[in-house]
Amino acid sequence: MSRASMANETEVEIDRVGDLRAPTPSPSSSPVSPVDAATFTHTPYYCEENVYLLCKKLASVGVADPTGLDLFVVFISNEGNKIPLWHQKASQMEEGLVVWDYHVICIQVKSKGNKSSTVDLVWDLDSTLPFPLPLDQYIHKAIRPLSFENSLYRRLFRVVHAPVFLRYFASDRSHMKDASGNWMALPPTYDPIIAEDGITHNLSEYMKMHLPPDGSLKDMVDSAYANKYGVVVSEAVLEEFFCQIHV
């Protein structure tokens, strides 16, 4: 993920590799999350791989369904590859603002049949917000949909069912090398992820974002489950989209 800062829709470029220290929490910050983000594998600027491993761990430790049925991987980007998010650890700006070319989070859908647990959760290892955070709060605090309505900074969301993503995602990390073949950010120490079908790199397919045509939410949900690369959802219907998912 590359990044840029922005104020009043005027963009200022920032080096891809920068100070990744999170701001010091204030005494009034939110209470400690029940799940410690420090226990998850995290390599700065490799959010897609971080989320890949996060989904596997949530399933293996019993926080999620053992097969990941309640997990969705969400790529955030747009046609111009400029998406603002707030409360990001990589930021040195007020309220943690960063303009990423893309970002990846995990959304866990709680069982709608269990009235004691109906909150959908966002798992974002790059956020300074509580981990995890209810989806509606993440949208309000980190995405802020009304801030950039009908602008080039409007976010799009590619939603992929985690069991499908874990089978077919692949990255050779070539997107993180410059024209001379040098790393722009140090890669993870483990081997690159290869898809079940043998493909070694398809990250660009997940990053392609175009405003989706009008369609029913039901059809969009069906596509998120069935399609290899999921479905693209606009920020205007993101929360309503997840309300339609039942596990």
Q: What are 92-144's pLDDT values in tens digits?
A: 998 999 999 999 999 999 876 555 457 999 999 999 999 999 999 999 999 99
User: Three-state SS for 7?
Assistant: strand
CB distance 213 to 240 below 8 Å: no
User: Mean pLDDT over residues 212-220, rounded?
Assistant: 85
Q: How many CA atoms lie within 13 A of 40 on its CB side?
A: 27
pLDDT in tens, 62-105: 999 999 999 999 999 999 999 999 999 999 998 999 999 999 99
What are the tens digits of pLDDT across the range 4-30?
A: 444 333 343 333 333 333 333 333 333
What is this structure's pTM? 0.86
CA-wise closest residue to 222 among 196, 197, 203, 241: 241
> Of 169, 160, 198, which is closest to residue 53 (Cα–Cα)?
169
Give CA–CA dist 208/242, Å, rounded: 21
Whole-angstrom CA distances from 10 to 3, 64, 88 are 14, 40, 19
- Nearest partner of 152 among 2, 3, 6, 1, judged by Cα: 6
Catalytic residues: 47, 103, 124
